Amino acid sequence: MDQRSRFDNMTNLSEDDQKLVFDFGSGVQASAPHHTIHGAFESIVDVHPGVLAAVHDGQKITYKQLDISANRLANYLVGSGLLPGQRVCLVVQRSLDMLVGMMAILKAGCQYVPIDGGVASDQSLRHIFEDTDARFILCLPRFWDRVNKFKGQDAIVLELGMETGAFFSPTRPGIKVSPEDGVYAMYTSGSTGVPKGVDVKHTTMTNALLLEPGKLGMTVGTKVAQVLSISFAMGAWEMLGSLVNGATLYLRTSDWSATLTQVDTLICTPSILAKHSQRDFPNIKTVAVAGEACPQSLADDWAQGRRFHNLLGATEVFLFSAHTHSIGQPLTIGRPLPNTICYILDDEGEPLPVGQKGTLWVGGAGVAKGYINLPLTTNQKFRPNRFANDGSKMYNFGNIVCWRADGSLESFGRMDDQVKVKGFRVELDGVNAVTENFVSITKAASLVMDGILHGFYTSAVPLNEQELDAFVRQQLPYYSVPEKWIPVDEIPLNMNGKVDRLQLKELALLSNIPSVEVVPAKPEQSRSDSACSPVVAPDKVVGSMKSIPILISQHAIFESQRA
């Protein structure tokens, strides 16, 4: 349909404003070369069979080998009773078998449900198995006992291995799959703590990964780092983005540097990127960050001598907008990706003109189907697009944004990042951004607890907090200035590499403890392959306050494993 028709019913805006909103809010219209993920992968196999598809811990697999292994496993699954359209849980950690399992499920005409077996709690496993009504579960051998403990009575569990399905046909199953069919169902914890599944379709991913800028220039010869959890939507960007474009995927081990020194393309959160120095990795030529707000200083630093992309996305939309950053220029979230549209609406759901802040709503190819078995939640977040009148949905992204005069989007944080302090509305992302502009501060985070605004920061050298406080007061109103500053060695991250606010709350509670010391981890305690630090015993607290993030981070992991 005509893209302009997706901006009807905006009579509250002047004609000039309607034109600007249409021009700014419309991604270019383009057609992806393939409409299913495995179809795009198979096209690479047909042309470049001998190219390396992935490398992990000394093991290698070519595109042809991956295709054959996935075909055999897919035929095995179909022969065992798997039906097209069913959801198959994939309980794994990064490995070549993980990639075989993903592609096999897609080739069987089904939707994979990625679960990081190293960090998923028992409660999460039980819930996801029940919620997806999984009749088939693929897992690595080390997760066999846990999976069988929580699987449904009729579920069939298969161990992944290079010999799984080895005696079945290596030919492609050839099962017909629609672009609207599910490619994966990603479970996110959300605010309730109960994981909810997001139903993502093939066309969402082909639109994002086969067209620029989401493609990131990936092609045969590109070396892509795979550093994120399979249970994180950005992990799908690394893996599927590489495999549908003919690149080589380098799956990391616990040694991050060993992987990062071999690749030229890195996709991660700003918090993960901030842990590394760009000077140590001149080989990396393309960096893409998403998942949380990126500090201007971090973007300027990593944009030196390479392409730096700041993108906005969510599990429910995957990728929506992108900005290619130039050093010293304002860092924005850019403009809509191809075949996507956006609206900035006020509290009454009416469109706003350029320059006015409102809530971001997204429509077009990037929008997921909704939440699995949660019709009320789906209807709250995925609304009929009344501006399009074509039966399509638009998603409430939750970010507060406005159009800049150049047509790019400026983000002011999420609605759930806005808090009340002394009766005033405070945007935490804004507090963090100002704090990070202070000399020597490398990362900042903030939260409100018991009515008090706490500011956390990491610094390369000791700093004068009175000077920091004065600096922030010069740029923010008094109610937006943290009443309590807490220096830490590192800002705690969750398994997806984002700032972990639950751990920040525990840090705030412990901030009055005069001294703590971290106890080194025992080897058998390190079960997680997440973005967190090595495990330490949660019942020992001795040393400096700046060591607390490691303690709290791992205490959270212990609790999730006991749940």
Residue 205 falls in which region: left (phi positive, over 0), alpha (psi -120 to 50) or beta: alpha
Q: Do residues 113 and 134 lie in contact, with contact meaning Cβ atoms separated by under 8 Å?
A: yes
Q: Do residues 356 and 404 lie in contact, with contact meaning Cβ atoms separated by under 8 Å?
A: no
What number of other Cβ atoms are within 10 A of residue 277's Cβ?
Answer: 9
Q: Do residues 492 and 504 lie in contact, with contact meaning Cβ atoms separated by under 8 Å?
A: yes
| CA 538 – CA 516 distance, rounded (Å) | 12
pLDDT at 19: 87
Beginning with the edge strand found earlier in the chain, give each strand of the sheet holding 441-449 in spatial order: 441-449, 452-459, 484-487
| CA 350 – CA 343 distance, rounded (Å) | 9
Degrees to nearest 5, angle at CA 506 with 505 and 510: 120
Of 467, 395, 417, 478, nearest in space to 438 by CA: 467
Of 406, 398, 491, 485, nearest in space to 443 by CA: 491
What number of other Cβ atoms are within 10 A of residue 330's Cβ?
Answer: 12
pLDDT at 522: 40
Per-residue pLDDT 10s for the chain (563 aa) are 455 555 556 667 888 888 888 899 999 999 999 999 999 999 999 999 999 999 999 999 999 999 999 999 999 999 999 999 999 999 999 999 999 999 999 999 999 999 999 888 888 899 999 999 999 999 999 999 999 999 989 999 999 986 777 789 999 999 999 999 999 999 986 544 578 999 999 999 999 999 999 999 999 999 999 999 999 999 999 999 999 999 999 999 999 999 999 999 999 999 899 999 999 999 999 999 998 889 899 999 999 999 999 999 989 999 989 999 999 899 999 999 999 999 999 988 889 999 999 999 999 999 999 999 999 999 999 999 988 878 899 999 888 899 999 999 998 877 766 677 776 768 888 899 899 999 889 899 999 887 889 999 999 888 999 999 999 998 888 888 999 999 999 999 888 888 888 899 888 888 765 544 434 444 333 333 444 333 333 333 323 344 444 333 333 333 333 33
| CA 341 – CA 38 distance, rounded (Å) | 26
Q: Do residues 289 and 331 lie in contact, with contact meaning Cβ atoms separated by under 8 Å?
A: no
Of 360, 351, 369, nearest in space to 315 by CA: 369
Residue 296, classified by CB atoms within 10 Å of its CB into exposed (0-12), middle (13-18) or buried (19+), is middle
Q: Do residues 409 and 395 lie in contact, with contact meaning Cβ atoms separated by under 8 Å?
A: no
- β-partners of residue 446 are 455
Dihedral of alpha carbons 122, 125, 128, 129, sign: negative
Degrees to nearest 5, angle at CA 84 with 81 and 90: 75
Degrees to nearest 5, angle at CA 400 with 398 and 405: 135
CB-based contacts of 491: which residues, under 8 Å, 6+ apart? 271, 443, 444, 445, 456, 458, 499, 504, 549
Question: In the block, which residue shows the tokens 């973005």?
Answer: 531
Residue-range domains of the chain with CATH: 1-30+273-282+290-414 (3.40.50.12780), 33-239+263-268 (3.40.50.12780), 422-485 (3.30.300.30), 488-563 (no CATH)
| CA 110 – CA 365 distance, rounded (Å) | 20
Per-position DSSP letters for 467-492, written without gaps between them: HHHHHHHHHS-GGGS-SEEEE-SS--
Q: Which amino acid is at 67?
A: D
Q: Which amino acid is at 55?
A: V
pLDDT at 113: 98
Q: Do residues 114 and 186 lie in contact, with contact meaning Cβ atoms separated by under 8 Å?
A: yes
Global pTM reads 0.79
| CA 101 – CA 245 distance, rounded (Å) | 19
pLDDT at 550: 37
pLDDT at 11: 65
